[in-house]
Chains A and B, each alone.
Chain A
Amino acid sequence: MLKCRELVGKADQYLDGELLLRERLAIRVHILMCHHCRRYLRQMGALLRAFPHRHDSASDEEVCAVMEHLQQHADKQDEPA
């Protein structure tokens, strides 16, 4: 029987879909009986879904700097040789 500590050690690979069927089943059996581990997996899953949204949108100044850089590059390319 998988121990809670071992489950947490494998949780990353479980959530990333990288475990073998046998290992996935061991985790599923464990979380049927252990609500702490069930909560850990659910909340770690939420955390991983949150990560790509962690950064704020860029400011107007940052967007303008990028767009101006693109424009300068395009202007240079349009210059006659």
Chain B
Amino acid sequence: MEAETLSRLRSGEDGVFSELVREHHRALTALAATVVGVSEAEEVVQNAWLKAHGAIAGFEGRSAIRTWLSRIVINEARMQLRSRKREVFLEDQVSSEGQDPLGDWFNEDGRWRSPPVSWSYDSPEALLMGVDLSGCLDDLLARMPANQRSMLEMRDTSELPFDEICNTLTLSASNARVLLHRARAQVFKLVNHYQETGEC
């Protein structure tokens, strides 16, 4: 599917680029917001689309289109920060507060105290798409520390390679791993609670 889209994009077929924009724009805006903040994310992504449009003919398809677009967005976001003499804002230390979000699911002997319920979903793609759950997830992400949210958007939504994220965010691999674990664990807990009770 992606190879076909790519070939139509390269041939400059009408309407294909706007399909690409429709599919990825919101994810890219959320990604940009983790670097430059919500207020400047739209501008960054607009500029990134310009770059992508100019470079699409040279895209060789070695990575997924989303990953390629995400790299362009990250570069644009960093240029924006430099032009404003700002740095990527992240608490690069992993704070001791907010211990493992799943910590209370285990007994002292390390076995499950509250094991996850069995989830019901038609396909993994549809797992997070319910209107209620989607809203709950947005609220959770808004409350999440910025460094955890960045890890989740870059690694799990944009599927950027781990070492590339560490470079972008100037994080050590071990700190990045802890942040990603905490972020994923909170989302897991939210989905599990939603599956169990139908509420956030």
Contacts and interface: CB of A to CB of B under 8 A. Distances in A.
A31 interface: no
A78 to B, nearest CB: 14
B22 A70 contact: no
Interface string B127-169: 1110000100100000000000000100011110010000000
Contacts of A6: 110
A46 B116 CA distance: 14
Interface in A10-51: 12-13, 16, 18, 36-37, 39-40, 43-51
Contacts of B71: none
A63 to B, nearest CB: 5
A67 B118 CA distance: 44
Main secondary structure of the interface of A (DSSP, over half): helix
Contacts of B89: none
B181 A12 contact: yes
- Max chain A Cβ within 10 angstroms of own Cβ: one of B17, B45, B126, B156: B156
B111 A3 contact: yes
- Max chain B Cβ within 10 angstroms of own Cβ: one of A3, A48, A58, A66: A66
B63 interface: no
B193 interface: no
Nearest to A64: B18
Given A9-B181, A54-B137, A48 B115 contact: no
A66 B115 contact: no
B10 interface: no
Interface of B: 17-18, 21-23, 25-27, 30, 45-46, 49-50, 53, 66, 100, 102, 106, 109-112, 115-116, 118-119, 121, 124-129, 134, 137, 152, 156-159, 162, 177, 180-181, 184-185, 187-188, 191-192
Interface of A: 3-6, 8-9, 12-13, 16, 18, 36-37, 39-40, 43-58, 62-63, 65-67, 69-70, 73
